């Protein structure tokens, strides 16, 4: 066969195959499997990490919360962190010159179930556990004001005498059954008695006319908080 004639007959089929391959390539007809689309930045859910709702308490704060809860009852919604926070706040105020008596109202606002005696105990425990340098011996103050009256006062088993108006402060020592003060009018008028612990009034009473008597007495409840008591029973 003539070589020139063979070349003319072979070229068209070869060109046809090449053209078909080019067409397939242009149409994307490759054998590679399709790739999934890249995920959108917004399609991947993110899990929010919530901040801890319970702050970490120091060892003294934990001791304070434990000591307080052993003797005082708060509402069920009061957390240990709230108790610890009040204790730290009270200590800062005491260190800046505020008296214990000045912290009683804030304590009763923060924890509405507390009595004056409970508030004193709360602050006293804060002093012991969180700022012991502020802790001082407790004081009892007997007060009689108003018209002239004969006064008898002191812990159970004693009988100190005086005349109204009278104010006497003594350390709370020992474990007497109660503390009391009575003021008997001499010639009518009105007389008022009070007993205070660390400047906070625990009990107050008044009497008027003739030779009537105003009686005040306090003791500690089972948990150690100061409270008004009656000596008539």
Q: Where are the alpha helices (DSSP H) in 44-151?
A: 59-71, 80-95, 100-110, 116-130
Report pLDDT for 162: 96
Please give the average per-residue pLDDT across 55-76, as a whole number. 93
User: Of all residues in the chain, what percent carry a pLDDT higher than 90?
Assistant: 67
Given pLDDT bands bounded at 50, 70 and 90, which one contains residue 51?
Answer: very low
Dist CA 173 CA 158 (whole Å): 13
pTM, rounded to two decimals? 0.73
User: Of all residues in the chain, what percent carry a pLDDT higher than 70?
Assistant: 76
Given pLDDT bands bounded at 50, 70 and 90, which one contains residue 54?
Answer: low
192, containing H or E segment: strand 190-197
Contacts of 49 (CB under 8 A, 6+ apart): none
Place of tokens 């306090």: 218
pLDDT above 90 for 18:
no
If one compares 87 and 34, the residue with the highest pLDDT of the two is: 87
Average pLDDT, rounded, for the chain: 83
Given pLDDT bands bounded at 50, 70 and 90, which one contains residue 175?
Answer: confident
Backbone phi and psi for residue 178, each to the nearest 5 degrees, phi listed first: -160, 170
Q: Quick: pLDDT tens for 192-202.
A: 999 999 999 99
pLDDT above 70 for 140:
yes
């Amino acid at each position: 066969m003539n070589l020139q004639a063979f070349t003319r007959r072979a070229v068209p089929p070869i060109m046809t195959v090449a053209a078909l391959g080019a067409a397939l390539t242009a149409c994307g007809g490759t054998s590679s499997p399709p790739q999934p689309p890249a995920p959108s930045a917004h399609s991947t859910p993110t899990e929010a990490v919530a901040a801890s709702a319970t702050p970490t308490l120091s060892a003294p704060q934990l001791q304070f919360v434990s000591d307080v809860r052993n003797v005082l009852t708060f509402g069920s919604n009061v957390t240990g962190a709230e108790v610890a926070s009040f204790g730290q706040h009270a200590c800062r105020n005491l260190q800046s010159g505020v008296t214990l008596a000045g912290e009683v109202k804030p304590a009763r606002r923060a924890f509405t179930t507390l009595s004056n005696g409970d508030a004193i105990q709360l602050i006293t425990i804060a002093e012991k556990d969180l700022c012991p340098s502020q802790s001082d011996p407790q004081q009892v103050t007997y007060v009689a004001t108003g018209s002239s009256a004969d006064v008898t006062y002191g812990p159970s088993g004693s009988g100190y005498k005086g005349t109204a108006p009278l104010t006497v402060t003594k350390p709370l020592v020992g474990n007497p059954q109660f503390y009391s003060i009575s003021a008997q009018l001499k010639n009518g008028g009105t007389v008022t008695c009070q007993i205070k612990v660390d400047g906070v009034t625990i009990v107050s009473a008044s009497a008027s006319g003739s030779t009537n008597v105003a009686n005040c007495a306090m003791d500690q409840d089972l948990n150690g908080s100061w409270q008004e008591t009656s000596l008539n029973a």
